[in-house]
Amino acid sequence: MNTGYAAVNGLKMYYEVHGSGPGRPLVLLPGGVLTIELSFGAVLPALAEGRQVIVTELQGHGRTADIDRDMSMAAFAGDVAGLLGHLGVGQADVFGFSLGGGVALQLALDRPELVGRLVAASVGYSPDGTHPDIADPARWATSTRMPKIGRASCRERV
């Protein structure tokens, strides 16, 4: 496994590269306020057996610190595009879970040349059903609805 930080769009974006193999790499995009381990830890070794897998943590998530800009699908997708450029990846298959699924869809809309196959799992189409503790980042640190590691990560953000 290789890890690092890519300087993209004013952000130091944490990423990991697992495995190797022929064909397009697979990019995994975790769910909101989740880390790589919480979203994909159980399946990552199997996915990386026969191909390269790139996993990242979005702005304000896990080991990627927050910066002074709005968190939006367009910004997140631009960051993922920047990460692919940083890694020299011309096209990848993309799997996104929850928030990561929305980012994957936005990436395909904004930069279709970067996306081969796309899987978006558990993606909301409207914020109407989102609990306020999840919708409001100011409430993440004290929310009982957030994963425990997510609450700790929110308190430790730079």
Tens digit of each residue's pLDDT (9 = 90 or more) over 62-93? 999 999 999 999 999 999 999 999 999 999 99
Q: How confident is the model at residue 148 (pLDDT cuts 50, 70, 90)?
A: low
In whole numbers, what is the pLDDT of the chain averaged over residues?
A: 90
pLDDT, tens digit, for every residue of 14-49? 999 999 999 999 999 999 889 999 999 999 999 999
Distance of CA 95 to the CA centre of its chain: 10
Do 85 and 21 form a contact (C-beta atoms < 8 A)?
no
Instruction: Decide if pLDDT at 149 tops 70.
Output: no
Nearest to 132 by CA among 122, 146, 119, 120: 146
Distance between CA atoms of 116 and 8, rounded to whole angstroms? Answer: 22
Q: How confident is the model at residue 150 (pLDDT cuts 50, 70, 90)?
A: very low
Q: Which long-range contacts (CB under 8 A, 24 or more apart) does 120-127 make?
A: 120/95, 120/96, 121/95, 121/96, 121/97, 122/31, 122/97, 122/98, 123/96, 123/98, 124/98
Do 87 and 54 form a contact (C-beta atoms < 8 A)?
yes
Check residue 156 and give its pLDDT: 46
The larger pLDDT score, comparing residue 67 to residue 139, is at 67
